[in-house]
Amino acid sequence: MTAAAAAGPAEVLATVGLTARYGSIEALAPTDMHVEDGELVAVLGPNGAGKSTLLRALMGLVTNGGTVRFRGRPLPRRDPVAVAASGVVLVPEGRGIFGPMTVAENLELGAYRLGRDKAEFERRWTRVFDLFPRLKERLGQVAGSMSGGEQQMLAIGRALMADPKVLLLDEPSLGLAPRVTAEILETLHRLNQGGLPVILVEQKAPLALKLAKRAYLLSVGRIVATIDPREITSYDDIAKHYFA
Partner 1 sequence: MGSLSYLPQILVSGLGIGCVYGLIGIGFCVIYNASGIVNFAQGAFVMLGGMVTFVLMQRAGLPLPVAAVIAIAGVAGLGVVVERLVVRPLWNRNATMFVMILATLAAQIVVERSTLLLVGDQPKTLPMFTDRPPLMLAGVAISYQLLWIVGCSLAVVGLLALFFRTTRTGKAMRAVAIDREAAALQGIPVSRMLALAFALSAALGAIGGILITPTQFTAFDIGVPFAISGFIAAIVGGFGRPFGAFLGGLTLGVIQSIAIVSFGAGLKNVAALSVLLVFLFIRPSGILGPAK
- Binding-site ranges for partner 1 (CB under 8 A): 59, 61, 80-81, 84-85, 89-90, 92, 96-101, 105, 108-110, 112-113, 158-159, 162
Give 196's contacts (C-beta < 8 A, 6+ positions apart). Answer: 38, 164, 166, 167
Q: Which is nearer to partner 1, 88 or 227 (CB)?
A: 88
Three-state DSSP class for residue 54:
helix
**Contact 35/13 with Cβ under 8 angstroms?**
yes
Shortest spacing between CB 140 and partner 1, in angstroms? 13
Shortest spacing between CB 161 and partner 1, in angstroms? 8
Nearest to 71, CA basis, from 165, 176, 194: 165
Alpha carbon distance 123, 113 (integer Å): 15
Shortest spacing between CB 56 and partner 1, in angstroms? 9
Shortest spacing between CB 109 and partner 1, in angstroms? 5
Burial label for 26, CB within 10 Å (0-12, 13-18, 19+), is middle
**Contact 14/69 with Cβ under 8 angstroms?**
yes
- Alpha-carbon separation of residue 216 from 83, 148, 187, 227 (angstroms): 22, 27, 22, 6
Shortest spacing between CB 211 and partner 1, in angstroms? 23
Q: Which is nearer to partner 1, 39 or 170 (CB)?
A: 170
Q: Which is nearer to partner 1, 175 or 206 (CB)?
A: 175
Give the DSSP per-residue string, 164-203: -SEEEEE-TTTT--HHHHHHHHHHHHHHHHTT--EEEEES
Q: Which is nearer to partner 1, 111 or 205 (CB)?
A: 111
Shortest spacing between CB 173 and partner 1, in angstroms? 19
Q: Which is nearer to partner 1, 61 or 184 (CB)?
A: 61
Q: Which is nearer to partner 1, 122 or 237 (CB)?
A: 122
